[in-house]
């Protein structure tokens, strides 16, 4: 039986596209969600994903006014291909600052925070439905 293009291990781009099909088409700011509601977003695969409003409320309570205006949701956690130990990372100055504060972790670079699997689990428990993983080569 032939493999589908997204299952063919020789076609890395197609495989990653399939793995990242759950990512949002458009990311709105925390302030936009807080003011305008609509606790959903559309994914690249065409699905409409909803999330619990408690995550918005929690983030609103821990963010500064500037972060509320600039933080785009959901927060994307990407594979860290530079890591020898198989870690993860959150890129972006605002995103890193917020995730650092939520997890009580130190930021080593202003625009990036490195995470491990237990950090992702904790983050997803605190803001369910608002953390998505991105697989990158």
Q: Where are the domains of the chain?
A: 5-134
Whether residue 128 has a cis bond before it, omega within 30° of 0: no
Q: Could you read off the pLDDT of 21-51 as tens digits, one per residue?
A: 778 889 999 999 999 988 888 888 888 988 8
pTM for this entry: 0.81
Q: Could you read off the pLDDT of 102-118 as tens digits, one per residue?
A: 999 988 888 999 999 99
Contacts of residue 125, defined as CB under 8 A and 6 or more positions apart, other chains included, come to none
Q: Which of 76, 66, 71, 68 is nearest to 44 (CA)?
A: 76
């Amino acid at each position: 039986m032939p493999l589908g293009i997204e299952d063919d291990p020789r076609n890395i781009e197609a495989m990653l596209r399939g793995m990242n099909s759950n990512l949002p088409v458009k990311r709105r700011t925390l302030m936009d969600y807080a003011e305008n509601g609509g606790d959903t977003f559309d994914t690249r695969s065409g699905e409409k994903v909803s999330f619990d409003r408690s995550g918005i409320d929690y983030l609103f309570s821990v963010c500064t006014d500037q972060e509320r205006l600039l933080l785009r949701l959901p927060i994307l956690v990407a594979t860290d291909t530079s890591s020898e130990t198989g870690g993860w990372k959150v890129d972006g100055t605002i995103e890193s600052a917020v995730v650092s504060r939520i997890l009580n972790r130190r930021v080593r670079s202003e625009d990036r925070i490195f995470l491990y699997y237990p950090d992702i689990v904790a983050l997803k428990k605190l803001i369910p439905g608002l953390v998505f993983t991105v697989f990158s080569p």
